A = this chain, B = another copy of it.
Amino acid sequence: MPSFKGYYETKNLDPFTLEKAYEALKYERSTIGYYDLPTSSLDLCEEIKSTLLSSTVFFNTIAIVGIGGSSLGIKAIDRLLRASTPHAKKIIYFENSDPISIAYESSRIEFAKTLFVVISKSGGTVETLSIFKYLIHKFDIDLTHSSQVVVVSDEGSILSQFADYYHLKRFVIPSNVGGRFSVLSAVGVIPLVLAGFHVEGVLEGAKSFADNFWARKEEHLLQKAAFYVSNAKVSPVNVLFSYSDTFEEFGKWVVQIWGESLGKRNARGERVGLTPISLIGSVDQHSFLQLIIEGPLNKTVTFMHIEHSRDELMIPELSLPFLEKSDFVNGESFNTLINAQCQATMQSVLQSGVSVDEITWECIDELSVGKMIMYYELLTSAAGALFEINTYDQPGVEHGKKILESYFTNK
Write the residues of chain A forming the contact surface with B, with a CB cutoff of 8 angstroms.
67-69, 72, 83, 95-104, 123-124, 126-127, 129-130, 133-134, 136-137, 158-159, 161-162, 165, 179-180, 232, 236-237, 243-246, 252, 255-256, 259-260, 262-265, 271-275, 277, 280-283, 285-299, 309-316, 318, 320-323, 325-326, 328-330, 332-335, 337-338, 340-341, 343-345, 347-349, 351-352, 394-397, 399-401, 403-405, 407-409
Least distance between A335 CB and chain B CB atoms (Å)? 5
Contact A408 B340 (CB under 8 A): yes
Going nearest first, the 10 A-B pairs with the smallest beta carbon separation are A68-B286, A263-B291, A263-B295, A273-B295, A293-B396, A348-B400, A256-B287, A344-B404, A344-B403, A99-B334
Known contacts A287-B260, A295-B272, A394-B290; is A83 also within 8 Å of B100 by CB?
Answer: yes
CA distance A72 to B287 in the complex (A): 9
Q: Which residue of B lies closest to A333 (CB)?
A: B99
Number of copies of this kind of chain in the complex: 2
CA distance A237 to B290 in the complex (A): 16
Contacts of A69 in B (CB 8 A): 286
Q: Name the contact of A252 in the complex, choosing from B245, B287, B297 (C-beta under 8 A).
A: B287
Contacts of A246 in B (CB 8 A): 98, 100-101
Contacts of A332 in B (CB 8 A): 408
Least distance between A330 CB and chain B CB atoms (Å)? 8
Q: Name the contact of A325 in the complex, choosing from B158, B274, B282 (C-beta under 8 A).
A: B158
Contact B329 A68 (CB under 8 A): no
Contact A98 B273 (CB under 8 A): no
Contacts of A404 in B (CB 8 A): 340-341, 344
Least distance between A243 CB and chain B CB atoms (Å)? 7
Q: Name the contact of A313 in the complex, choosing from B103, B322, B337 (C-beta under 8 A).
A: B103
Contacts of A134 in B (CB 8 A): 313-316, 334
Contacts of A245 in B (CB 8 A): 96, 98, 100-101
- What are 20 contact pairs spanning A and B, CB under 8 A? A68-B286, A68-B287, A96-B245, A99-B313, A99-B333, A100-B246, A102-B311, A130-B315, A130-B329, A136-B318, A236-B236, A252-B287, A256-B288, A259-B291, A260-B290, A264-B295, A271-B295, A294-B395, A328-B409, A344-B400
Known contacts A136-B318, A271-B296, A407-B343; is A244 also within 8 Å of B277 by CB?
Answer: no
Least distance between A144 CB and chain B CB atoms (Å)? 11
Contacts of A340 in B (CB 8 A): 404, 407-408
Q: Which residue of B lies closest to A335 (CB)?
A: B99
Known contacts A311-B103, A320-B162, A326-B124; is A262 also within 8 Å of B291 by CB?
Answer: yes
Contact B397 A293 (CB under 8 A): yes
Contacts of A275 in B (CB 8 A): 237, 277, 291, 295-296, 298-299
Q: Which residue of B lies closest to A314 (CB)?
A: B134
Contact A97 B400 (CB under 8 A): no
Q: Name the contact of A315 in the complex, choosing from B133, B232, B283, B320 (C-beta under 8 A).
A: B133
CA distance A321 to B136 in the complex (A): 14
Contact A288 B260 (CB under 8 A): yes
